[in-house]
Structure 1
């Protein structure tokens, strides 16, 4: 046995494949690209014995070996190509025991390809609730491969699964004959293909014929050769594929009848089906979804606030202690006003990010998120989106980059392109720090009707604004991008389940870690650059500004004089000069040069805005308020023209609306380019979103000031 065998997890969507992957690999996971394609894959390490560790690859969920989207194509590209780097030593096919008839279709296709297979019979508890009993021993005898009973959610049966996989690696066991042998139907076609392409598997030869235009491992000359075989034998691909599926299901039905005992009365609904009558109702379904969203955003503010206050105060205290204990000088200023101020501006939002992903994970784990996709499909179609667009749009609440990559499940090119272009309008987690700090400045922390927090309602309104704008933009693009393709949406609803707290915790940990690590690296770099730009200026401009302040304000107290000096030095710095250069463009939106610096720096990543403001205001303030938090600094900021509060409701809401629409994420633009294979569409995306952001922010400020 080789030192690191490859184990592929394959199965229908919602069969429990990802749950099994998490059980096998735990925290020994990583994300990369499948060789040869820009498609994310999840892989991890599984110790299968005392000396060997297997690499487990979680392949996309599919119903059949015949793909209908880009992500499903990966399964065929790997399993039909023994030379692929990810070709498995063993394929573990995860089966939903409650839907054995449908799930076995994919299993029979994979075994016919000649891949050593272990059948993992999952969700037996759900089958038992439906009064179904499965004889796994008889099933193994009928299929000719090992069958293991598991519970992927609870981690039961993993030792038996490990033994079966080890046995298949050491001495592979394959069924005695193909479940469906195409040579019985089209012997000449299969013979010619096997001879010309040096194949020894009849079903693999059939895949060469049927899928030759889609698979990645055949070059153009090979594809033309297969076209010649098809034409010479007048082979009808569509008709043959349909007949194959019908034949397989007939044979599967005979096996299911033999191994499954079903005691449930005919047409008696399950409790999940009874719940769906309410949750998928054309009226109550939307009402319940809206109420759940309201509770979610209320919880984000209510539960996270004590933790945020503690972190905010702690960072401010640490900053003050460092300034007091360390010797004055550039290095101390860099550490406190640059690095610590910038990083502290993002750490304070960890509680809200954690609660957001915690609540979303609960909805996904329970099975409710799938219901959301179904009811939202009714709305999506009216705006020209495919029902599968719901998945990327919902994913966009976390991050637009994986959400854009999730559009590979959309079959039609136009629907996929529209979804890619509008997904960044969904408010991602990077916007949450900006939303919460500005909302806290201008929206009172009061309750309405004794239940709903005004700040939570304001936050929800911004997310809804993003959703509505995405739908409107999709409708406009639907008119501009003409096509005759028709989209479709097929989703099997999973049964409702209690959340697995270890999986919820893993999701929260990975999300927070990714957020802090990715944002932290950018913020650290930008904070250092900003500190340099804000601490030094052209020539002796900063010294001259300090000298002028001392001459004109000799009557001020020591603390007030230091504040004025720090502010004037910042304005005379490189950063201040740059901010003043762009100020005429952003002044109609109500922004000053300080906000302008933060706007430009946040083009690298939106969440950098808060870190930048922390750095700018730390440098721009005097030394008497080292313990003041960033929120207090913003609240105390004065408008130099009016002398009043700088962050008025008009300014704050203008900024909020700007960030709802603005495309300020280089990673998102890069993801769009990678998925569309053109710089045209990232340019379109950047242009329309920035114009929309500017116009909307201008209108908001002018109407509210």
Structure 2
């Protein structure tokens, strides 16, 4: 039972709905799932008067109430079901005033369902630049609902919007008649449906007939009853929907003729259209996109380095200080070598992750990301993917879990499944700490052409390798997973805009906080477990190892002796035994038992690899000088050759392994939720693991 009124934000994609949501809820918003499904739900409180705090729900963007994907189905499921917990007391339909004709189609459908509506006119400044004037008073009179002028980017018009919502809550006003009344064409069918299902609204009865197979709130018996009604009246859905759309646009044209003055010059392109001639060019479009991505990866290394160095030094200083100040013992070792070493191994990469999300947010806010989807669609189709697959693949650079959830916008089942299976090959932010530390070990900070950094080029190369492998894997899956369905890609390009810095900042904050919180909890738990496994062993194995070192090296003393003892104690521990057990399997890749421990622990989450290495080498180092993990890896020696352990061959082998390896339980869980089967997560895990092992083996052997 609802205790607070629900205000739903409804609108076309790119109409400014999410911007308005951020204005209304700010930092108090929360993310979850809609009841019964795994589709993302954003909600938050909004104080609409001194005594009432409403819940604002940001519904997925749709062009009409006839869904073509899973996330669009949610909107109709809610608006057609008054018993749904998110059914709105008032629906705020956000429309792009510069494209009012198309946006009003959705508005008229929502209003016809009998939902109390407020029309929010957004992007009036864009309409004005295009020489269009919208008269909100006349529009309200013609539509029969409150109409409010807003600017979702700046927050202008929120008070009038609040008053209009309060008015609709206290005394709901609906249009005097339906914009499209299906009873005028199929009156008997509508009457039969209304009587059989106790409905009062003609247009809602039509939705029961057309969409009954998609409505989650109808049981099988109710759906069979609707099938009988359809057969009884020989109802033909496609023809009727076409007739409805034509009728609605005719009535919308009458409204706009009275409320909108259009003085746009004929055949004069806007500045966004002029830019699109270059950005969507079949040659220059790809060149510009590649250059922008190169700049992003250069910036990740160049801009973040001072902040990373500061955090690195701070963690090392804190670790050394704690060891000096605290009494020696297991608890101090747990705190410094276990907890702090593991958490420090992830905190140091916050600057790079923040810059990555910052730059991606800039591309999204400006409108350029939509152009990327369009030009990449030409490539996607050759590999059996839908153009909408670009959205999850690009999102996969941040995190594969929400990227897999974003595949709901893909209409055909095969394209959606292929996209889910290959998305984890895109290098996510969890891989960034691994890439950064290994690249720093073997790639010099050398400038190329006076501007480009070799480390940045290496990082971009890894991301490109992930993209190429995702496309090739998709092509193979296309040949395996046959389907007769045809897929289409339709994308409306928003106008270019200046980024909203508060939204960019909010995106970065939420992304970094989520990354640190989710990764931090896993790393903390695994670091503690690893410290225990690496500090204790079966029976008296650790004591025997220490005695053996003293007996075999009677001349050693001081730091050299401590390092030998620490190394042998680690090897004799539970963790060491476990590492030695799997070492034969990973030896062909150049890995030793210490790396084996890190590989296994990182199956929980990839970023745990760095924290695990921090814990292992802190325990094994035997010194208290606060040396950082990068310095420890540089000084690590190969016991077989006596040379550096982390050679270019081993480092690049590890880099390639993590480009392809699944090693993320959360991603497997997301795949299972989206496919509703454990078969596809198993396929994903097996093919990516084989790909990672073979690629790492070939890399190591080629470079050795």
TM-score for the superposition, normalised by structure 1 = 0.99
Q: Which residue does 1:645 correspond to in 2? A: 644
Q: 1:464-513, CA deviations, whole angstroms, 9 ceiling, x for partnerless residues? A: 00000000000000000111101111110000000000000000000100
* Contact preservation (8 Å) 1:5, 1:55: yes
Matched, 1:364 2:348: no
Q: Which residue does 1:696 correspond to in 2? A: 695
Q: Which residue does 2:458 correspond to in 1? A: 458
Q: 1:273-300, CA deviations, whole angstroms, 9 ceiling, x for partnerless residues? A: 0000000000000000000000000000
Q: Which residue does 1:190 correspond to in 2? A: 190
Matched, 1:397 2:405: no
Q: 1:412-453, CA deviations, whole angstroms, 9 ceiling, x for partnerless residues? A: 000000000000000000000000000000000010000000
Matched, 1:313 2:310: no
Q: Displacement of 1:269 after TM fit?
A: 0.6
Q: Which residue does 1:168 correspond to in 2? A: 168
Matched, 1:654 2:657: no
DSSP-derived class of the 1:603 partner: coil
DSSP-derived class of the 1:440 partner: helix
Q: Which residue does 1:568 correspond to in 2? A: 568
> In 2, distance between residues paired with 1:284 and 1:368?
14
Output aligned runs, 1:172-251, within 5 Å.
172-251=172-251
Q: Which residue does 2:473 correspond to in 1? A: 473
Q: Displacement of 1:626 after TM fit?
A: 2.5
Output aligned runs, 1:84-483, within 5 Å.
84-483=84-483
Matched, 1:675 2:679: no
> In 1, distance between residues paired with 2:688 and 2:612?
22
Output aligned runs, 1:553-632, within 5 Å.
553-623=553-623, 625-632=624-631
Q: Which residue does 1:71 correspond to in 2? A: 71
> In 2, distance between residues paired with 1:374 and 1:600?
40
Q: Displacement of 1:2 after TM fit?
A: 7.6
* Contact preservation (8 Å) 1:46, 1:54: yes
* Contact preservation (8 Å) 1:3, 1:53: no
DSSP-derived class of the 1:671 partner: helix
> In 1, distance between residues paired with 2:75 and 2:652?
47
Q: Displacement of 1:267 after TM fit?
A: 1.6
Unmatched tracts of structure 2, length 5 or more: none
Unmatched tracts of structure 1, length 5 or more: none
Number of matched pairs: 704
Q: Displacement of 1:524 after TM fit?
A: 0.3
Structural RMSD (CA)? 0.9
* Contact preservation (8 Å) 1:148, 1:157: yes
* Contact preservation (8 Å) 1:673, 1:681: yes
Q: Displacement of 1:58 after TM fit?
A: 0.5
> In 2, distance between residues paired with 1:325 and 1:514?
33
> In 2, distance between residues paired with 1:333 and 1:340?
10
Q: 1:255 to 1:305 in 2, by over 3 A?
A: same
Matched, 1:522 2:522: yes
Q: 1:150-206, CA deviations, whole angstroms, 9 ceiling, x for partnerless residues? A: 000111100110110011011101111111111111110000000000000000000
> In 2, distance between residues paired with 1:364 and 1:265?
29
> In 1, distance between residues paired with 2:378 and 2:530?
48
Q: 1:494-539, CA deviations, whole angstroms, 9 ceiling, x for partnerless residues? A: 0000000000000000010000000000000000000000000001
> In 2, distance between residues paired with 1:370 and 1:626?
50
Q: Displacement of 1:551 after TM fit?
A: 1.1
Q: Which residue does 2:683 correspond to in 1? A: 684
* Contact preservation (8 Å) 2:2, 2:85: no
* Contact preservation (8 Å) 1:637, 1:645: yes
> In 2, distance between residues paired with 1:277 and 1:550?
75
Q: Which moved more, 1:33-42 or 1:294-303?
A: 33-42
> In 1, distance between residues paired with 2:416 and 2:289?
25
Q: 1:309-338, CA deviations, whole angstroms, 9 ceiling, x for partnerless residues? A: 110011011000000000000000000000
Q: Which residue does 2:489 correspond to in 1? A: 489
Q: 1:537-595, CA deviations, whole angstroms, 9 ceiling, x for partnerless residues? A: 00101000000111111212311100110010000000000000000000000000000
Q: Displacement of 1:3 after TM fit?
A: 4.9
DSSP-derived class of the 1:176 partner: coil
> In 1, distance between residues paired with 2:257 and 2:489?
30
* Contact preservation (8 Å) 1:3, 1:52: no
Show structure 1 runs of 4+ deviating over 2 A.
Answer: none
DSSP-derived class of the 1:56 partner: strand
Q: Displacement of 1:52 after TM fit?
A: 1.5
DSSP-derived class of the 1:27 partner: helix
Q: Which residue does 2:663 correspond to in 1? A: 664
* Contact preservation (8 Å) 1:357, 1:507: yes
> In 1, distance between residues paired with 2:677 and 2:185?
44
